[in-house]
Amino acid sequence: MTAAALAWPARMLLRACLSGLAVTCFVWSIGAFAGFWTQSGIAGMAEQILQGQTFRPDAIRGLLAEGRTPLLLRAGAPSRFTSRPDHLRNLAVLEMALAEQAAQSSEVDLLAVLPRLQQVTLTALQASPGDPFLWLMLFWAKSASAGVTSNTIPLLQRSYELGANEGWIALKRIRLSLASLQSLPPSLGQRVMAEFRALVASGFELSVAEILAGCEPAIRQRLVDTVVGLPEVNRRKLAENLVAKGLHDLAVPGIERTELRPWM
């Protein structure tokens, strides 16, 4: 048999291998692009949720199913993206949105939703233990099911320690903190009051007025009193926004109420 005849099977085998490799690469690229777009969709929705946008529960659940949450991983459905800290965080944000909607709905059992949020958030924290927002989410998830206790308060404390000066986190955290204020130790309560003052000093007077309108009336004046010593422009804007929210009974330090009466 000639050398050419012997080389022919080898060439055919090489072509077959190359063809198989090409098919494998093509299939892998389809999966990679599909995963990329799924991940991008989850990231985009998570960002919009953090900005205050709302989505239908079925739309959120659809992305969670495609993104393979940690609970699905344990059931044997792995995803190449679940080990990425940012992806895990985004999954937790989507789970948080579902839990918040359940808390406002009479048709969904919040206690049935919270365990999933807790586990997804814990998984995200394992990848990003320095994320103050994840600690805040875990505090809310555990407190909503078991109450504000000695076991959940350290989670809120950790959020303050890691993200004391992050405005967008503070706006979300202050609402939860004020709702739990009576159960917090004095040292943490002082941090809550200081955070309220810092929000006013940072120009969030309108948001702060909205927060005051939704918190317990008994603590409203205590919170407003913390702004003493801030620049007049911040105190005046706060006073104007309080009047706009119908909180006429609150006195802002250094601002005369008669100055805020509209012209007749």
pLDDT, mean of each 10-residue run, the chain (264 residues): 49 46 38 45 86 86 68 45 77 90 83 89 92 96 92 96 88 93 95 96 93 93 96 95 93 81 48
- 177 and 263 share one domain: yes
Cα separation, 254 vs 95, in Å, equals: 44
113 contact partners, CB below 8 Å, separation of at least 6: 98, 99, 102
In contact, 263 and 236? CB cutoff 8 Å: no
23 assigned to some structural domain? no
Do 241 and 196 share a structural domain?
yes
**What local confidence, expressed as pLDDT, does residue 68 receive?**
55
Q: What is the pLDDT of residue 53?
A: 86
**Contact yes or no for 99/117 (Cβ under 8 A):** yes
Pick the last residue of a domain from 163, 185, 210.
163
pLDDT of residue 66: 63
pLDDT of the residue at 30: 36
Same domain, 148 and 192: no
Whether residue 4 is contained in a domain is answered as: no
pTM: 0.77
What CATH number does residue 111 fall under?
1.25.40
Distance between start and end Cα atoms, the chain: 111
Tokens 């010593």: give the residue. 229
- Nearest-angstrom CA–CA distance, 59 and 114: 19
Q: Is 262 helix (H, G, I), strand (E, B) or coil?
A: coil
So what's the pLDDT on residue 85? 86
5, part of any domain: no
Give the number of domains in the chain.
2
Say what the pLDDT of residue 106 is. Answer: 79
The whole-number pLDDT of residue 50 equals: 85
- Single residue among 163, 181, 199 that ends a domain in this structure: 163
3-state SS assignment for residue 105: coil
Q: Please report the pLDDT score of residue 39 as a whole number.
A: 59
Are the C-beta atoms of 30 and 80 separated by less than 8 Å? no
> 153 exposed, middle or buried (CB, 10 Å; 0-12, 13-18, 19+)?
middle
194 to 43, 164, 170, 197, 199: CA distances (angstroms): 32, 10, 11, 5, 9
Instruction: Report d(CA 117, CA 127) in Å as an integer.
Output: 16
- Of 163, 182, 206, the residue at which a domain comes to its end is 163
Domain that holds residue 255: 169-264
